[in-house]
Amino acid sequence: MENISPFLIGGIIGNTISVLAFVPQITHLYKEKDSTGVSTRAYFIWLTGDILLFAYAMSIKDPIFSILMGLYTIFTLWIILLSLKFRKTH
């Protein structure tokens, strides 16, 4: 059996925590059906960065980084779509 680096384990745990950090915002948007206070503009900026980093991760063929950035892209886009759907107009 191959020795697994503690840095790899730490990276996997860190990635999991980072991805799970999206869950409270998504849950809140579904529950409240109100995106007041959510900066869609900021999430569009994050989405742009996520897409660029995902492309970079794919180009260097780094599987963990690719998975992380792919999930970031999906979850950021999800939040954008929910915040637009639940936007309150005055």
pLDDT at residue number 2: 75
pLDDT band of residue 89 (cuts 50, 70, 90) is: low
pLDDT band of residue 90 (cuts 50, 70, 90) is: low
pLDDT at residue number 53: 96
The fold for domain 6-85 equals Monooxygenase (1.20.1280)
Residue type at position 50: D
Number of alpha helices (DSSP H) and beta strands (DSSP E) in the chain: 4, 0
The residue ranges of DSSP E strands in 1-90, in sequence order, are none
Gap between the Cα atoms of 36 and 3, Å rounded: 48
Tell me the domain boundaries of the chain: 6-85
* Model pLDDT for residues 1-48, shown as the tens digit of each residue: 578 899 888 988 988 999 999 999 999 999 999 999 999 999 999 999
Is residue 54 within 8 A of residue 70, CB to CB? The reply is: yes
Gap between the Cα atoms of 48 and 52, Å rounded: 6
